[in-house]
């Protein structure tokens, strides 16, 4: 019985920690945009302020980048298949972007309060 009580205590602690970790992770959520078939998917993503957006290149052989040209920011590094790049959005607003080598590939991040 002693051992069972010990296990129950450990489990309880485990769930308390799990709950705490999930709550904390929610504050800085990470959402993913897939890059595949010469498209950003979803093309328009709506997030809350404080969210990190991660772009993942799911192509077989094409490389892309994420370029917030209108903001005057530098282009991301070229993302080869399997590579990703991320940006955290702290301020509400509309953030259009495009792919560096393929200007016809566009997307937008809408950040709400
Ligand atoms: Cu591209």
Q: Cα separation of 67 and 87, whole Å? A: 11
Q: Is 99 within the bounds of a domain?
A: yes
94: helix, strand or coil = strand
In a domain, 86, yes or no: yes
The DSSP H or E segment spanning 85 is: strand 84-89
Task: Give alpha helix (H) positions in the chain.
Answer: 2-27
The pLDDT, as a whole number, for residue 23 is 44
Domain tally for the chain?
1
**Residue 11 placed within a domain:** no
Q: How far is the CA of 65 from the centre of ligand 1 (A)?
A: 6
What is this structure's pTM? 0.76
**Centroid of ligand 1 to alpha carbon of 34 (angstroms):** 12
Tokens 């920011």 found at: 73
CATH of the domain at 45: 2.60.40.420
Tell whether 14 is covered by a domain.
Answer: no
Predicted local distance difference test score (pLDDT) of residue 28: 83
State which residues form the domain around 36. Answer: 28-112
State pLDDT tens for residues 25-72. Answer: 445 899 999 999 999 999 999 999 999 999 999 999 999 999 999 999
Pairing of strands 30-36, 51-57: parallel
Ligand 1 center–CA 43 separation, angstroms: 13
- For residue range 17-27, what is the model confidence (pLDDT) as tens digits? 444 444 444 45
| 105 Cα–ligand 1 center, Å | 6
């Amino acid at each position: 019985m002693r051992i069972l009580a010990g296990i129950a205590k450990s489990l309880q602690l485990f769930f308390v920690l799990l709950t705490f970790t999930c709550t904390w992770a929610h504050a800085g959520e990470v959402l993913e945009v897939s890059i595949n078939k010469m498209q950003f998917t979803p093309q328009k993503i709506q997030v809350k302020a404080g969210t990190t957006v991660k772009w993942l290149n799911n192509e077989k052989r094409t490389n892309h980048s994420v370029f917030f040209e209108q903001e005057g920011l530098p282009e991301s590094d070229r993302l080869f298949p399997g590579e990703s790049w991320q940006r955290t959005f702290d301020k509400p607003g509309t953030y259009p972007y495009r792919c560096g080598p393929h200007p016809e590939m566009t997307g937008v991040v809408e950040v709400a309060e």
